[in-house]
Amino acid sequence: MAQKPSIPKGTRDFNPIEVAKRNYIFDTIKAQFQHFGFQPIETPSFENSETLMGKYGDEGDRLIFKILNSGDFLRNVELSSKFLKEIFKKCLENTFLVIYKKKFENVSKDEFENEIDSENLVKFFEKSLFSNELFLNTFSNNVIKKIKSEFNKKEPYIFFAIAKYMEKTVVDNDNLLKYSLIFSKVTERAIFANVFIEDNFKDVANKISEKALRYDLTVPFARYVVQHQNEIDFPFKRYQMQPVWRADRPQKGRFREFYQCDADVVGSQSLWQEVEFVQLYDAVFSALKLEGVTIKINNRKILSGIAEVIGAQDKLIDFTVALDKLDKIGEEKVKEEMLSKGISKEGIEKLQPLFELQGDFSEQIEALKAILSVSEEGKKGIEELEFINTAVSELKLQTAKLQLDVTLARGLDYYTGAIFEVSAPEGVKMGSIGGGGRYDDLTGIFGLKDVSGVGISFGLDRIYLVLEELNLFPETISESIKVLCINFGEAEALTCLKAIKVLRAHGINAELYPDAAKMKKQMNYANKRAVPYVVLVGESEMSSNTFTLKNMANGEQQQLSLEDLITTLQ
Amino acid sequence: MAQKPSIPKGTRDFNPIEVAKRNYIFDTIKAQFQHFGFQPIETPSFENSETLMGKYGDEGDRLIFKILNSGDFLRNVELSSKFLKEIFKKCLENTFLVIYKKKFENVSKDEFENEIDSENLVKFFEKSLFSNELFLNTFSNNVIKKIKSEFNKKEPYIFFAIAKYMEKTVVDNDNLLKYSLIFSKVTERAIFANVFIEDNFKDVANKISEKALRYDLTVPFARYVVQHQNEIDFPFKRYQMQPVWRADRPQKGRFREFYQCDADVVGSQSLWQEVEFVQLYDAVFSALKLEGVTIKINNRKILSGIAEVIGAQDKLIDFTVALDKLDKIGEEKVKEEMLSKGISKEGIEKLQPLFELQGDFSEQIEALKAILSVSEEGKKGIEELEFINTAVSELKLQTAKLQLDVTLARGLDYYTGAIFEVSAPEGVKMGSIGGGGRYDDLTGIFGLKDVSGVGISFGLDRIYLVLEELNLFPETISESIKVLCINFGEAEALTCLKAIKVLRAHGINAELYPDAAKMKKQMNYANKRAVPYVVLVGESEMSSNTFTLKNMANGEQQQLSLEDLITTLQ
């Protein structure tokens, strides 16, 4: 390998300081998870494909990293999929050759092969196929129009056209040998056409890959709960902090491998859990000294209720997508969008109080009560929000604030009750740093019905950036060892190692510089690693059984006994 | 999904207790790594394929999990590899059909399709092809013999035979349409033949997969060091604890996803590091209370020296492979094996003192000195071992013992100096629970020459099994919460949550049962989760501002103020 090695796009190496900072966040979250009674589980990095596929929508499916079957992975691929079979058959029918005959009759085999590179082939089809009488007579205008447009749009489709064409035409078999190359080319490309077409592409993918990297922690968790339902004591409070992988286009702050930190409870519908999750967010961010985050809360039932009131039950998604943009595009544009989606003018007028929502949580609730007085579901949503708000007010938050946000929707398809989102303290430009909600049928996808779940997630990478921006990482994080012993030679080194052994037993991170290198080099190393103390043991120290301790910050030196050395460094 | 979900073979779910036990091991190792001055790094789960492929031998390459390119992953596959092109061409030459003609003339299309399933096809080829005059005349006896043997050995090769056959024969083109299906079948299978053949298989794999899951931590570490060489202060002491993946056949104790825990130093040849690693092993296993492990040590230079002395320098691998079996098969069989590998009788006689090695480390060293007195390399190896042994004796080990084992070879190709292996305490049946050594050219594979490295690894899964067998996991590991508050209703629950908030702030893991369910159900839950204490708050407690604390082990109950509750639970 000549060039400098690199890592796949969207992935990251973490150096010691980065690992330390990340672990600081992990450990802080983990400690709170445990204080709250959550228990850790871990699931495999890859799941069976059928566990993941179809759970995240088409876009999600596309972003799932698939693992090639090991060994002869193509064993199960039937390239004889219907279409391919057709193509082969048609090739053998030799119905297509005549088109080429004239053009290539006097061309040598080598020239011929050059001639039919893909670009020429395409051009040639365009000219000869689309002006060929037989072709034009064979298909209806509509079909030809479609083939032409496909042809311009997406090269591989040409082979559908060819296949179709060949199906209908019968010509002589002369010169088979000479033109065999065309077929080889056409057929080869037909195979591509076959796999390019999405259904077939998926087909092939499913056959050569039966495992896929975890896309999130929620689906594996649901799978875990169903698989181990007999061993689990419900309600089951679990946390999970593991990497997930997405074949997303990498961009600033978006990676192809990243950690998710999730806490969920399944098997109870109690609203105390929503209360606990608000407290948990508060506890974690307070422990991280990230003060002033806003925990936004909403309820799916409120959104449904509003949609009901304005007669847009069937447009719930359109309605919430538009409402969700209120912050960004303002009231008028939101109304325009709703109108354009077919929500009635009268309905939108009923929303007016929503746009004028003001005041604190309770005041907003009162306004919502007026709007939602005729919706049973809406009233249920209000009741739930009130319960949570009252309990949280009684229990008090340390540094976060709870805020009602009726525009909050997140993955609406998913949530059935509470919806949470956490935003960084004011002044920090960053998307949400956490989110979650209640979903009444988490495990239904795996056949276990009526298991309600509620959970929240922490956005590690964004929290990292926020802590970095606000300079909130503890200073000691970058300290890997407390003391480096300078190496003056064999006997001195051994003396140092004896002391180091004792220091380590006292929990003090210590090391010996491995080579008896020049003093300057060793001190340089100490400086670069930001070691706070250096120990020097030369002949005089050895004979007096002492250690010279140098404070690297102020340069002060002390001559100490081992006991005093321990005390000073502890 | 109707059936119960499952996970891919060779992977594992870990339940809360298993995670806790695993984390206990991780945390213990990590603490010692840090005491010894190692710094953590993390690398991506997947690397570019070229980073990994070719680094672990052919067998390793096969065991690497490859990730399918995302999107239209087949874009870069040229199915028109030379062979495939030939096949297509030959198919179109229609030279082959005549063989089938007679057999299938009166068969309907449907019957025909059934008829030509692969087994029939193979049988038919066998009969008709190998008794066909044209075929027999076309090829030399040798070629036919070869084709026949391939045919019997490996089905796909039949298509080579067919291709070759078709090349040489020219027949009529009648009934093309009818027989097209045969071609489709033959051609389709020819594609398989193509990909079954290893070179082509690898070819296709390389084109549809450009990333692969990490196979170990050493190669990614070497890649890391080279890629970040300008940011690293050498000597660089890093540790890394991350999962790796291998497409090995799963079996007891061997998984497809497992953690490696590695500590390495690069950029110094100092033998103090070998000394430190012996101490590190001792420190970790002592901290795990796993007393009496044996740290076996050897040196590649000793092995080379012995091979030199007995005139088997060119048979170093054969020699060490045989010697490595001494424990299992005994002296005589080892000698037989050496003899069979071409090591001379005289050479083997010189080994006699080796088979009679006895006594402690120093005594064995003395014996080795006699054997190796004529080998410079061997003497260097002895010198290194002596240095390490002397230093370790001076520094003393806590609970482990260091033992010279001249039969120890491990990945000999890899190591250039010290070789380590740790075995569990006597009486525990378990392979090595750790291993490592020095490798003088770790980063050379990525173009950075002359960087010496030395490192060790801990076998997490095996250590887990050993601790389990010896019952060495601390009892408190399974304790997830210290106290569960029973839920008697809304007001009581809120009172509990207020207390819980304070308990958590004091580092006590506590939770409220989320539903005001029957007492029995809640107590059951407490029992199943092995909660040591339960708090009961009813009306009387609320009015007296106290908490009833029940000790689940002995059933004792106390009525306590919040302050006393904290003190009792801390």
**CA B261 from chain center: how many Å?**
12
Contacts of A48 in chain B (CB under 8 A): 5-8
Q: How far apart are CA B70 and CA A209, in angstroms?
A: 12
Q: Searching chain A, which residue's CA lies closest to the CA of residue B497?
A: A395
> Which is it for strands A432-439 and A39-40: parallel, antiparallel or unpaired?
unpaired
Point out the residue among B48, B231, B257 whose CB comes nearest to the CB of A8: B48
User: Which of A37, A88, A272 comes nearest B184 by C-beta?
Assistant: A88
| 3-class secondary-structure state, position A527 | helix
Predicted pLDDT of residue A13? 98
| Most confidently modeled range among A252-256, B80-84, B398-402 | B398-402
CA A338 to CA A327: how far, in whole Å? 15
Beta carbons of A451 and A438 less than 8 angstroms apart: no
The distance of B510 to chain A (nearest Cα, Å) reads 6
Q: How far is A89 from chain B (nearest CA, A)?
A: 5
Nearest by CB to B44, from A7, A93, A247: name it: A7
Query: Collapsing DSSP states into helix, strand and coil, what is residue B530?
Result: coil
Closest Cβ–Cβ partner in B4, B394, B514 for A235: B514
Residue type, B256: R
Backbone angles phi, psi at B409, to 5 degrees: -125, -45
Which chain B residues contact residue A91 at CB under 8 A?
91-92
pLDDT at residue B242 greater than cutoff 70: yes
DSSP-derived 3-state class of residue A234: coil
Task: Give pLDDT, residue A356.
Answer: 83
The answer to whether the Cα torsion of A194, A199, A203, A204 is positive or negative is: positive
3-state secondary structure at position A22: helix
pLDDT in the model for residue A180: 36
* A contacts of B226 (beta carbons < 8 Å): 4-5
Element of type H or E holding B433: strand B432-439
Question: What pLDDT sits at residue A113?
Answer: 44
Q: Minimal CA–CA distance to B88: which of A179, A60, A400, A245?
A: A179
Q: How many Å lie between the alpha carbon of B75 and the closest alpha carbon of chain A? A: 8
B129-160: per-residue pLDDT in tens? 555 554 455 445 655 565 555 445 433 334 44
Per-residue HEC secondary structure of B456-510 comes to EEECHHHHHHHHHHCCCCCHHHHCCCCEEECCCCHHHHHHHHHHHHHHHHCCCCE
Sequence-distant contacts of B339-348: CB under 8 A, at least 24 apart: B341/B315, B342/B315, B342/B318, B343/B310, B343/B311, B343/B312, B343/B315, B343/B318, B343/B319, B344/B310, B344/B311, B344/B312, B346/B310, B346/B311, B347/B309, B347/B310, B347/B311, B347/B312, B348/B310
Check: CB of residue A327 under 8 Å from CB of residue A407: yes
Residues of A in contact with B395 (CB under 8 A): 494, 497-498, 501
Q: Which residue of A has its CA nearest to B481?
A: A37
Contact B44 A13 (CB under 8 A): yes
pLDDT of residue A314: 87
What digits encode the pLDDT tens for the residues A187-214?
444 443 333 333 444 556 676 789 999 9
B512: closest CA of chain A, how far (Å): 9
More confident residue, B321 or B286: B286
Pairwise CB contact (< 8 Å): A89 & B272: no
pLDDT given for residue A326 in this prediction: 85
Flag if A41 and B13 touch (Cβ within 8 Å). yes
Residue A27 burial by Cβ neighbours in a 10 Å radius (0-12, 13-18, 19+) = exposed
Instruction: Give the mutation candidate from A39, A230, A492 for the B interface (greatest B CB count, under 10 A).
Output: A39
Choose among A517, A499, A496, A520: nearest CA to B269: A517
CA distance B203 to chain A (A): 12
β-pairing verdict for A236-245 and A257-266: antiparallel
Provide the residue type at A310 as one letter.
Answer: I
Mutate to test the interface with B, among A177, A183, A272, A479 (most CBs of B within 10 A): A272
Interface test with B, best of A45, A200, A445, A483 (most B CBs within 10 A): A45
B218: its two tokens:
């050493």
Higher pLDDT, A160 or B480: B480
Contact residues on chain B for A446, CB-CB shorter than 8 A: 1, 4-5
Side-chain half-sphere CA neighbours of A234 within 13 A: 14
Contacts of B209 (CB under 8 A, 6+ apart): A68, B49, B66, B67, B68, B69, B73
Statement: residue B328 has pLDDT above 90: no
Min Cα distance B482 → chain A (Å) is: 9
What are the backbone angles phi and psi of residue A197, rounded to the nearest 5°? Answer: -75, 130
Which candidate, B265, B263, B243, B264, places its Cα nearest to that of B255?
Answer: B243
List of chain A residues with pLDDT < 70: 1-3, 71-205, 207, 411-413
For B188-225, write each residue's pLDDT tens digit: 444 433 333 334 445 566 767 899 999 999 999 999 99
Q: With helix as H, strand as E and coil as C, how does B163-228 read?
A: HHHHHHCCCCCCCHHHHHHHHHHHHHHHHHHHHHCHHHHHHHHHHHEEEEECCCCHHHHHHHHHHC
- Six-digit token string for A481: 């060892």
CB contact under 8 A, B68 and A67: yes
Instruction: Read off the pLDDT of residues B15-31 as tens digits, 9 standing for 90 and up.
Output: 999 999 999 999 999 99
CA proximity to A443, closest of A227, A210, A230: A227
Cα gap A144→A136, rounded to integer Å? 7
Q: Do B183 and A35 touch (CB under 8 A)?
A: no
Contact B88 A5 (CB under 8 A): no
Query: Are the beta carbons of A154 and A88 closer than 8 angstroms?
Result: no
Helices (DSSP H) in A430-510: which residue ranges?
460-469, 490-505
Chain A: closest CA distance from residue B37 (Å): 5
Specify the pLDDT at position B108.
46
Q: Which two tokens stand for residue B123?
A: 């049988």
Chain B hits for A67, CB-CB cut-off 8 Å, are 65-68, 213
- Separation of alpha carbons A340 and A354, rounded Å: 19
- The count of CB pairs under 8 A between chains A and B is 354
- Determine whether the interchain pair B65/A63 forms a contact, defined as Cβ–Cβ distance below 8 Å: no
Report the C-alpha gap between B317 and B415 in whole angstroms. 13
Distance of alpha carbon B239 from the chain centroid = 18
**B183/A88 CB distance under 8 A:** yes
CB contact under 8 A, A5 and B51: yes
Task: Spell out the SS3 assignment of A54-111.
Answer: CCCHHHHHHHCCEEECCCCCCCCCCCCCHHHHHHHHHHHHCCCHHHHHHHHCCCCHHH
Mean pLDDT of the region B348-370: 88
Give me the residues paired with residue B548 across strands: B536, B559
Chain A residue whose CA is closest to B212: A67
Question: For residue B172, what pLDDT is reported?
Answer: 34
Closest CB from B7, B176, B273 relative to A94: B176
CB contact under 8 A, B46 and A8: yes
Nearest Cα of chain A lies from the Cα of B371 at a distance, in angstroms, of 28
pLDDT of residue A59: 83
From A460's Cα to the closest Cα of chain B, the distance in A is 15
Q: What is the pTM of this model?
A: 0.82
Distance (Å, rounded) from C-alpha A365 to C-alpha A359?
10
Could you say which of A44, A192, A515 has the minimum Cβ distance to residue B268?
A: A515
Residues B85-123: tens digit of each pLDDT: 444 344 333 333 333 333 444 444 444 444 444 455 445
Interface test with A, best of B70, B91, B186, B569 (most A CBs within 10 A): B70
Give the model's pLDDT for residue A82: 41
